[in-house]
Amino acid sequence: MQWWLLGKRSAEDDNPSSSTGPNCTKRKTRKYSEEYLSFGFTSVGPADNPTPVCVLCSETLANEALKPCKLRSHLETKHGSFASKPREFFENKLKDYQHRKKVIESTCVTGGENEKAVTASYEVSRLIATSGKPHTIGEHLILPAAKQMVSIMLGNSAAKQLNSISLSNNTIDESTDIAGMANLLAFVRYDCDGEIEENFLFCRPLHSNATAGAIFDILNDFMISNDIDWTKCVGLSTDGARAMLGRHSGVVKRVRDVAPLLTHVHCCIHREALAAKRMPMDLKTVLDDAVRMVNYVKSRPLQARLFSLLCEEMGSEHRQLLLHTEVRWLSRGRVLTRLFQLRDEVRTFFIDSKFELADRLCDFEWLCKLAYLADIFSHLNGLNLALQGTAVTMFHVQNKIEATIKKFDLWGKRIARANYESFENLSDFLSKRFARIERFVRMTRRELSDSRE
């Protein structure tokens, strides 16, 4: 029998919401102009409070986004390949959008179908959690793939019904303790009829300090209450703080006292996460600054709501930053990537604030380091996910780690030649920066040439 002891888990789920009241100042509503169709936008809603809708992706923006600069920003950011298209192109897209809207309205879901959609969402969420995949795969891969298959096999009208299944990031998420309680999670692996079975054993709260004694007491109570002999426990795999789970005075020592045949290993993923903390001081400073920026926005509900509104007005792909926690080792890469993606929005948000780190988002070198950290931690996340699963053996783990080490050597040689293609965010950031510089140089030369003539 082998155990996996997982350390404390905590997370915050900040669903931004806005409220209105009798003392709220009525904001000025903007009017829709037919000229906005040149940017790919039509409008829905009442004439005195219209809402812009993109005819290409059907995304609905706030009324405050009815400005040429914001509509153009959405078009260039999300549909850059169509930015130079003539008005006639968007008129045809408007007809397509109106046709799609009629189809959706004619096939709107009923109460019974809504119940089916919720059930389908739950079942897909359960499969994602069981497979150990990141929850974002539901929105980014599973639902689009399902639409493609249903559209091919049953037609577009049937595929449209899948839009009622909610698989967004805010819907599928890991289970958390809303009371902020520290929990002990235990998994068991055992031999059953010649097959290796693995199951979730229990999840129990740690009411006091998360000490080795408290953890062992919970384990021991479970074993005694279920009449399980400790001598049957021959393997222990731990993931958590060394102070609690150390071999000399922690849980491992206490379990070994009652289970003499015990063999202990520490989670290789957790060791890799700890090793990743040792980084050059300049990169550590950038990481700390980035976490402080995110916490400044996320830890204040009002700030989070205002930032969400700003992202909506600017037509951003995302509406919120992600909160970094040391316990969830996958969060670091995701937090940095999201911050880098929303760097323009965060810089705009900090314009009227007195946040001492606001100038970092105007520092080219700091942004380069942020992009590099986002890329390198994303690569580490990919490695960590590849090391998980019931079918993964120590041979798979060794091969994956050795392959990653060889990749690091290759990337180092590429960087020495100023080749950053292995780092997506950094490469894209640098290429756009150099492209702007080249455009500026050409424009300056053209203006000088015109002045001479």
Beta bridge mates, 5: 186, 238
Q: What is the pLDDT along the chain (453 residues), one digit of tens a residue?
A: 334 443 333 333 344 344 444 444 445 688 888 888 988 999 888 888 888 888 887 777 878 888 888 888 888 877 877 888 888 888 888 887 787 666 445 444 444 455 677 678 767 876 775 665 666 677 778 888 998 999 898 888 888 888 777 675 444 453 334 445 667 888 888 888 877 787 888 888 776 666 788 888 888 998 898 888 888 888 888 765 555 556 567 888 888 889 888 888 776 665 555 555 667 888 888 888 888 888 888 877 788 888 888 888 888 888 888 765 544 555 677 888 889 999 989 999 888 777 888 889 889 999 999 999 999 888 888 887 787 776 777 788 888 888 888 998 898 899 888 888 889 899 888 888 888 777 777 887 777 777 776
- 8 Å CB contact between 302 and 18: no
The full set of domain ranges for the chain reads: 34-106, 112-164, 181-266, 281-434
Specify the residue for token string 């790919």: 40
Reading the block at residue 267, the tokens are 């989670």
How far apart, in whole angstroms, are the C-alpha atoms of residue 390 and residue 155?
A: 37
Q: Give the closest residue to 240 by CA, choosing from 270, 200, 207.
A: 270
How far apart, in whole angstroms, are the C-alpha atoms of residue 413 and residue 411?
A: 5
How far apart, in whole angstroms, are the C-alpha atoms of residue 337 and residue 317?
A: 13
Q: Which amino acid belongs to residue 19?
A: S
pLDDT of residue 65: 82
pTM over 0.75: no
Reading the block at residue 407, the tokens are 């990749």
- 8 Å CB contact between 376 and 290: no
How would DSSP label each residue in 351-364?
TTS--TTGGGGG-H
- 8 Å CB contact between 1 and 189: yes
Q: Which amino acid belongs to residue 224?
A: I
